[in-house]
């Protein structure tokens, strides 16, 4: 099958080529991300492969459809960037990689928590400057702290297991209770209780209409002064302006992000010679107690191998008319 791979990054190409060996699809690697402006590059390609910051809105899907595309194979788990109603109307199948390595994302989450708490971003920079002073580097023990996990699915459960090992008390918020998390002693609570009791809050739910800006000014008004907030899930879960206000007031004591509401215009490219026009993002970068990584939580060899394997299998399965139901996305995923 002819497959147009949008937004190809150098680090993933080899993984995709290797995974394609048993399938033999014709892969066209494209550097531009997918949008209405670039969709015509895929004309004549029945399958398109897209990533998290490709824009799969109605006009883009219409353009793909007009060019003969019938399958959108996402090489990611989240599908909040796809207009599923439009895809359904056009008869476009949308496949994803529902799970590749929850460990990759969970471990990055804990890395961010440890780094921002123990101020590693500041101490490493200081030592490089031969400044060996410790002023401003005081952190806290994770042992004995209460962690609120919003979304205790695959990634949230691994985070729970790791932080249980650190000796944390675990609170959870989810529509479904995870037996594994309950087994770790995690207590399910409502959102207000989680806000009031957690010393550390970490987000692992998908971005849906129900979870959009779940961390907002009302939530933060309830949160413990000095709370640490970690987001490795989706930028839209957080009202960034409210978070900036809370950083200024000290309500948030530390913030670590791997995702950002408007990351589509920034992440996955080198903008070091350019002026960043997003004043909200640049304000975030000025806080000494904020660290940001550019959507790299998934970036392990194991995860890239699995993403490539499942993506290529989805494309072959589409050809034979049998994509596994758990890998297909439809509008029903937004309900409830």
CB of 58 to ligand NAI, least distance (A): 22
Contact range with ligand NAI by CB under 6 A, out of 88-96, 99-107, 117-125, 273-281: 99-107
- Note whether 151 and 203 are within 8 A (CB): yes
Residue for token digits 């960037």?
81
CB of 210 to ligand NAI, least distance (A): 4
264 touching ligand NAI, by CB under 6 A: no
Q: At what angle do helices 10-20 and 301-319 cross, to 10 degrees?
A: 50
Question: Count H helices, E strands: the chain?
Answer: 12, 12
* List of residues 6+ apart from 262 with CB closer than 8 A: 235, 278, 280, 281
Identify the residue among 7, 42, 60, 102 touching ligand NAI (CB under 6 A).
102
- Note whether 256 and 116 are within 8 A (CB): yes
109 touching ligand NAI, by CB under 6 A: no
329 touching ligand NAI, by CB under 6 A: no
Three-state DSSP class for residue 265: helix
Residues classed as catalytic = 234, 263, 295
Binding to ligand NAI, residues 197-216 (CB under 6 A): 204-208, 210-211
Identify the residue among 33, 117, 152, 327 touching ligand NAI (CB under 6 A).
152
CB of 191 to ligand NAI, least distance (A): 8
Angle at 296 between CA 243 and CA 186, to 5 degrees: 65
CB of 173 to ligand NAI, least distance (A): 5
Q: Where are the alpha helices (DSSP H) in 9-97?
A: 10-20, 58-66, 84-90
Angle at 233 between CA 227 and CA 237, to 5 degrees: 70
Element of type H or E holding 71:
strand 71-74
Binding to ligand NAI, residues 221-260 (CB under 6 A): 232-234, 258-259
| Dist CA 245 CA 255 (whole Å) | 12
Cβ closest to ligand NAI, residue 39 vs residue 74: 74
173 touching ligand NAI, by CB under 6 A: yes
Binding to ligand NAI, residues 68-87 (CB under 6 A): 77-78
Which positions lie near ligand NAI, rule CB under 6 A?
Answer: 77-78, 99, 102, 105, 150-156, 173-176, 204-208, 210-211, 232-234, 258-259, 295, 297-298
């Amino acid at each position: 099958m002819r497959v147009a791979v949008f937004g190809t990054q150098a680090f993933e190409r080899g993984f995709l080529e290797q995974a394609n060996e048993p399938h033999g699809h014709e892969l066209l690697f494209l550097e531009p991300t997918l949008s209405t402006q670039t969709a015509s590059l895929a004309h004549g390609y029945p399958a398109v492969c897209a990533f998290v910051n490709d824009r799969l809105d109605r006009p883009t899907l219409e353009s793909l459809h007009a060019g003969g595309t019938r399958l959108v194979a996402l090489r990611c788990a989240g599908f909040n960037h796809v207009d599923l109603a439009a895809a359904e109307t056009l008869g476009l199948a949308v496949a994803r990689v529902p799970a590749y390595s929850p460990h990759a994302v969970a471990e990055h989450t804990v890395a961010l928590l440890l780094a921002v708490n123990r101020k590693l971003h500041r101490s490493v920079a200081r030592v490089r400057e031969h400044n060996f002073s410790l002023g401003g580097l005081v952190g806290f023990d994770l042992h004995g702290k209460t962690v609120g996990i919003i979304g205790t699915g695959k990634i949230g459960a691994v985070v729970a297991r790791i932080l249980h090992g650190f000796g944390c008390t675990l609170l959870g918020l989810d529509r479904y209770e995870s037996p594994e998390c309950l087994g770790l002693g995690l207590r399910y609570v409502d959102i207000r209780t989680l806000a009031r009791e957690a010393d550390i809050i970490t987000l692992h739910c998908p971005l849906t209409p129900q979870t959009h800006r779940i961390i907002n000014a009302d939530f933060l008004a309830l949160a413990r002064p000095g709370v640490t907030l970690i987001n490795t899930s989706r930028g839209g879960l957080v009202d960034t302006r409210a978070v900036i206000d809370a950083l200024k007031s000290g309500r948030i004591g530390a913030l670590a992000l791997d995702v950002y509401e408007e990351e589509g215009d920034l992440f996955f490219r080198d903008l070091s010679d350019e002026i960043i026009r997003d004043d909200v993002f640049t304000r975030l970068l000025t806080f000494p107690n904020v660290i940001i990584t550019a959507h790299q939580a998934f970036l392990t060899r194991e995860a890239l191998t699995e993403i490539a394997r499942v993506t290529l299998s989805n494309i072959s399965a589409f050809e034979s008319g049998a994509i596994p139901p758990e890998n297909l996305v439809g509008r029903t995923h937004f309900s409830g």
